[in-house]
Chains A and B, each alone.
Chain A
Amino acid sequence: MINVILQVAQVLGGDNSDIGMILQTLFSLSFIIYLFYAQRIQAMTMLRQVEVTLRKVKTIKDEGRRVSIEMVKEVGKPERDPTPDVDRFLEQFVISPVSMDPAGIMGKLDQLINVSDYTNEAEVKAIAPQATEAEAHNIENLLGAAHALNYYYKAIRHFYLLGKKTMNVYIIMQIHMILPLIIKEIEATSSAIQAFRNGMPIGDGVGPLVVSKLMRGHELIDVARETVAAWVPYEGRTLILLKAKGPGGSVGKPGAGVAKILGDDKKEKKIKAVIMIDAAGKLEGEPVGEIAEGFGAAIGGIGVEKYKIEEAVKARDIPMYAIAIKQDISHVIAPMVEELHKATDTALESVKRIVTERTQEGDHVLVAGIGNTMGIAQ
């Protein structure tokens, strides 16, 4: 091998000095080393980038845990140290039901979510006995964010350590490829810590905020768990406004709420349309707070609530209009930006326009504001 290089160098260099020879040999040698070890070098470079992210995530998830414990101590005033309880919560998991035979999976998921919701609520009450209802909900949200950060950290660490152990470029690539997206999600979750700690309205709260503007001052009726509705007259119509009950952080059960309201109306058939307002992910390049109108059930999540709404609306065969307020993933659980706050007024105008243009006087219209109502009362 070296002979070959020397020959090549000789051909290239002609009758030059010894130093020139050495330089050229080194040059060729480094080229050949790179030829064989390029992948390893690449793997190390990628691993280093993963490591940097891992450190960053560790700082953020430790902060999430610290703030959670601090908040539980501060507002909950527990008799014993809540640290083990918080740590236990951070390791909590939910096993999703088998989906090979998907019939009836919605019922299973619904039951599973209800059990975890009720259990977590009871646990938060137990570790933070002095917290108000709103504060307890905010603690639940904060613990949820800390849980997500802990999970991200563990997932990245898993790939990092596995990659380091095997030095397999394909294992490292799996995590490296999606690193920018993961970083974005982690940054989004980390900005939730401040919002959840203080009970500030978040980007996801645009739906409830729009509805709350119409709802204020009217009599409220509990229609489902943590979900309230109000019957409000508007331009000869009756708007049935539905949102999660604030100002504690909660998304409520809009599916159950819509199903109940539509079910109660089964005989009279007064409700002629459903309008849903929700935050929607914007594409890169779209402005924050842009309003888009469309059709269908505007609601995210794992799909249980969406399923319930679709079923209830299908049973009645009435149109379902959607208003989306566009925002970036980094806005969804961060303190609400001004653009989104302004966009709620525009969205309110859209609601009013849809009501006057697409329904008749005397009709009832169900308007549901979907999202987390933290920091937004009614």
Chain B
Amino acid sequence: MMMTEQNTQIPSMSLSWTTLAVIVVIGIFSLFSLWMGFQALSSDRPEQSTYYLLTGTVGFAAIGYMFFRTKAVTTRKPDVPKVDVVTILECPACELKRVRDFKRGDYIHKDDEPCTRCEGNMVITGIHRRAEPEKKPKQ
């Protein structure tokens, strides 16, 4: 079928285990470098420590960057948004107002269910998304 054909057309490029191996190698290398740096610092040649420390720091920076990137990729779940929608009903006769969840078939200006307070029918005056609690702005 057409859809399964499309599936096979996206080649996967998942690098997770290679990334992990690279992180481990760089990690060991960086640790060793840092250790050498501190050794040199306490020895009779402190001027050499700069290079070791620099190498080690750069290694850790690279690890941090890679970790941050893979995390950003894996935690962003692709999903289709669903929101809460409410229907506002008002009685034109006694001005009773009621809010309930949206039901399929609701539309604005529809004569809906009978009023609970008087004889009249309630009319849908509004349908909108339920106000969400303040979200932190995503970057």
Contact = CB atoms under 8 A, between A and B. Distances in A.
B106 interface: yes
A63 B81 CA distance: 11
Nearest to A64: B80
Contacts of B21: none
Nearest to A248: B107
- Determine chain A's interface SS by DSSP, over half rule: helix
A23 B79 CA distance: 46
Of the candidates B51, B126, B129, B130, the one having the most CB atoms from chain A within 10 angstroms of its own CB is: B129
A20 B47 CA distance: 12
Contacts, number: 120
Contacts of B129: 334-338
Interface stretch (A187-195, A251-259, A310-318): A187-195
A200 B58 CA distance: 54
A55 B110 contact: no
Interface in B71-86: 73, 76, 78-83, 85
Contact of A23 (B51, B107, B131): B51
Given A19-B36, A201-B108, A13 B48 contact: yes
Query: Interface size class for chain A?
Result: 35 or more
B10 A58 contact: yes
Contacts of B45: 16
A237 interface: no
A142 to B, nearest CB: 13
B109 A200 contact: no
Interface stretch (A46-54, A95-103, A168-176, A320-328): A46-54
Interface of B: 2-3, 9-11, 13, 33, 36, 40, 45, 47-48, 51-52, 54-55, 58, 73, 76, 78-83, 85, 102, 104-110, 126-131
9 contacts: A12-B51, A20-B36, A27-B51, A55-B10, A59-B80, A161-B9, A187-B81, A338-B131, A376-B107
